[in-house]
Amino acid sequence: MDKSAPFRDAPRQEQLPRRRGPGPAVLLVSVYALLFAGGLWLSQSGSPLLQRKRLPEAGRDAPDANSPGLSRAALLEAANLPPLARAEYFLRLSADCCPCGCDLNLRDCLLSDQICIKSPQLARAIFQQLS
């Protein structure tokens, strides 16, 4: 039998280290940074999507055009009601939910949602019922 070695020696080639791409964590952090920078840019650009509705001043609030009677500011003040009726009025405004779909009570909807037409109507009905 041949007593030669079972393996042949091959000449060694110079192996360069394999270049790897960025891992998934680096990619996720990069995407997050881009989204964050885009959100900052959008918030600073004055986009109408991100602007808050301004609440009218109490003295300059006019009655709604589609429903006559008390204005939103007058409904929120309830100055013409006697003290016991006024306390009951504010309790009902805080307890009753607005049916417009905003998931707020009547008081908060009157304060924040200037386009809601249901909350002033319900508040007027409560006001007239207690006066």
Range of the domain at 112: 72-130
Closest C-alpha to 59, from 75, 77, 73, 80: 73
Long-range residue pairs from 48-53, CB within 8 A, at least 24 positions apart, any chain:
53/112, 53/113, 53/114
Domain presence at residue 111: yes
- Is the pLDDT confidence value at 92 over 70? yes
Kindly report the pTM of this predicted structure: 0.47
Domain presence at residue 7: no
Give the pLDDT confidence score for residue 59 in this predicted structure: 41
Say if residues 110 and 76 touch (Cβ distance below 8 Å).
yes
Domain presence at residue 102: yes
Backbone angles phi and psi of 97, in degrees to 5: -90, 150
The listed range with the strongest mean pLDDT (18-32, 51-65, 91-105, 110-124) is: 18-32
Instruction: Give the pair of three-digit tokens for residue 105.
Output: 């009570």
The confidence band for 97, taking pLDDT boundaries of 50, 70 and 90, is confident
Domain presence at residue 4: no
Domain presence at residue 58: no
How many folded domains does the chain comprise? Answer: 1
pLDDT digits (tens, 9 = 90+) for 3-41: 666 676 666 667 767 778 888 999 999 999 999 998 888
Domain presence at residue 114: yes
Give the pLDDT confidence score for residue 5 in this predicted structure: 61
The per-residue DSSP string of 28-71 comes to: HHHHHHHHHHHHHHHHHTT-TTSPPPPPPPSTTPPPPSSS-S--
The confidence band for 119, taking pLDDT boundaries of 50, 70 and 90, is confident
pLDDT digits (tens, 9 = 90+) for 55-84: 554 444 444 444 456 777 788 887 788 888
Domain presence at residue 42: no
Give the pLDDT confidence score for residue 96 in this predicted structure: 85
Domain presence at residue 44: no
